């Protein structure tokens, strides 16, 4: 059995997701402590560009499955290809970023192989026996649970936003183009693809500044003030929402931050009208600087904030946006 740690890298239009590359970088640290190496796995119509990106961020080897059959993501086709590779090479672990693709593909692969799975891990470490320990938030984020998959390979998804991709190393990986059986025609055919409305904007988990709004925003139009503040900070800023705001449809659920949404760790997190429930705090606790704006001086969010402002957010946020714009020139 190999001691290698595999990371499945998802991509779009030849660009690897930052979330996947961050797991590659973290896996390189894990592999160094257990005597293995990091192997990235790329499934794409043409994997050369994505393979190079994975190598630059820590993968010593990249296994590529390519062909027009993989032009669009397909659970059935990707599962068949990955299961074939895993059975052949028997890695110690297979990791996925908790993206939409990773969250869909990992459990299907685990079921196909008949082994266990840890989903939505919030930390990774290597035990004395060389196996990966997955840490998970449970009971609404009030308890941390350490899990080990007893079978081999260990399979797990890692919550996005927890790790950052490393600086490019400039090192070219060994690229192995795998010869796997062509996927059988599936029961689902992709007729068209409509990009998400947020395509072209920076992903929440990749943003340096996150401006987030809660129930106090009052409606979808209330987020216009937050968008103006994010625009003042520049292209590295994004707008997010607490679960109540996302559930109300004021922002897409893809922009929800918390246990049931995304995890972010920006340099600056501005919480506007967010009470600070544990469900939300679990998604932004890794932020370097937290600023809370709330009209309730007893709001729990102030307990975790580095800077708190008590007042009407609809007066404070526009004034802050003007100040940031003036400062940035």
48 and 103 co-located in one domain: yes
What is the distance of C-alpha 287 from the center of its chain? 15
Q: CA angle, corner 58, sides to 56 and 61, nearest 5? A: 90
Under the banding of pLDDT at 50, 70 and 90, the label for residue 42 is very high
Rounded to whole angstroms, the Cα distance separating 94 from 74 reads: 19
- Does the pLDDT value for residue 196 go beyond 80? no
DSSP bridge partners of 176: 63
Under the banding of pLDDT at 50, 70 and 90, the label for residue 59 is very high
- Does the pLDDT value for residue 97 go beyond 90? yes
Task: Identify whether 212 is part of a domain.
Answer: yes
222 and 135 co-located in one domain: no
Q: CA angle, corner 98, sides to 137 and 199, nearest 5? A: 130
**Higher pLDDT among residues 113 and 98, named by residue:** 113
Average pLDDT of the residues in 207-234: 95
Task: Identify whether 170 is part of a domain.
Answer: yes
**Which residue bears the tokens 């397909």?**
74
Q: 212: left (phi > 0), else alpha (psi -120 to 50), else beta?
A: beta
242 and 316 co-located in one domain: yes
Task: Identify whether 186 is part of a domain.
Answer: no
Contact 95, 6 (CB under 8 A): yes
Contact 4, 92 (CB under 8 A): yes
Task: Give the number of domains in the chain.
Answer: 2
9 and 153 co-located in one domain: yes
Count the neighbouring beta carbons within 10 Å of the beta carbon of residue 112.
15
**pTM of the shown model:** 0.77
- Does the pLDDT value for residue 50 go beyond 90? yes
pLDDT score, position 33:
81
Q: What is the CATH number of the domain that holds 252?
A: 3.40.50.1220
Rounded to whole angstroms, the Cα distance separating 12 from 72 reads: 9
Element (H, E) at 62: strand 61-66
Domain that holds residue 229: 204-328
Under the banding of pLDDT at 50, 70 and 90, the label for residue 186 is low
- Does the pLDDT value for residue 19 go beyond 60? yes
Element (H, E) at 52: helix 48-56
Task: Identify whether 194 is part of a domain.
Answer: no
**Higher pLDDT among residues 86 and 144, named by residue:** 86
| HSE (side-chain half, CA atoms, 13 Å) at 39 | 21
Q: What is the CATH number of the domain that holds 99?
A: 3.40.50.620
Pairing mode, strands 154-158 and 93-97: parallel
172 and 211 co-located in one domain: no
- Does the pLDDT value for residue 208 go beyond 80? yes
324 and 249 co-located in one domain: yes
Contact 92, 5 (CB under 8 A): yes
Contact 27, 40 (CB under 8 A): no
133 and 254 co-located in one domain: no
pLDDT score, position 141:
62
Under the banding of pLDDT at 50, 70 and 90, the label for residue 91 is very high
Task: Identify whether 265 is part of a domain.
Answer: yes
169 and 219 co-located in one domain: no
153 and 22 co-located in one domain: yes
Rounded to whole angstroms, the Cα distance separating 137 from 123 reads: 10
219 and 308 co-located in one domain: yes
């Amino acid at each position: 059995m190999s001691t290698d740690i595999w990371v499945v890298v998802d991509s779009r239009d030849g660009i690897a997701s930052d979330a996947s590359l961050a797991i590659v970088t973290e896996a390189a640290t894990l592999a160094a402590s257990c005597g293995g190496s990091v192997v990235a796995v790329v499934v794409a119509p043409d994997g050369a560009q994505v393979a190079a990106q994975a190598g630059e961020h820590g993968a010593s080897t990249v296994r590529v499955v390519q062909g027009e059959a993989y032009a669009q993501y397909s659970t059935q086709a990707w599962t068949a290809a990955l299961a074939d590779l895993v059975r052949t090479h028997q890695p110690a672990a297979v990791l996925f970023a908790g993206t939409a693709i990773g969250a869909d593909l990992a459990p299907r692969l685990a079921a196909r192989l008949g082994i266990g799975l840890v989903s939505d891990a919030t930390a990774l470490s290597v035990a004395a026996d060389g196996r990966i320990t997955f840490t998970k938030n449970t009971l609404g984020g009030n308890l941390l649970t350490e899990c080990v998959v007893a079978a081999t390979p260990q399979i797990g998804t890692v919550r996005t936003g927890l790790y950052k991709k490393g600086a490019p190393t400039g090192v070219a990986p060994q690229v192995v183009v795998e010869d796997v059986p062509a996927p059988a025609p599936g029961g689902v055919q992709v007729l068209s693809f409509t990009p998400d409305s947020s395509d072209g904007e920076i992903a929440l988990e990749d943003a340096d500044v996150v401006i987030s709004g809660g129930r106090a925003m009052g409606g979808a139009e209330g987020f216009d003030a937050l968008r103006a503040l994010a625009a003042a900070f520049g292209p590295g800023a994004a707008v997010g929402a607490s679960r109540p705001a996302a559930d109300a449809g004021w922002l897409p659920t893809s922009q929800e931050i918390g246990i049931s949404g995304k995890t972010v760790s920006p340099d600056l997190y501005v919480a506007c009208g967010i009470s600070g429930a544990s469900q939300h705090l679990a998604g932004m606790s890794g932020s370097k600087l937290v600023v809370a704006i709330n009209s309730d001086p007893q709001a729990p969010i102030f307990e975790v904030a580095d800077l708190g402002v008590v007042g009407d957010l609809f007066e404070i946020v526009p004034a802050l946006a003007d100040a940031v714009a003036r400062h940035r020139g």
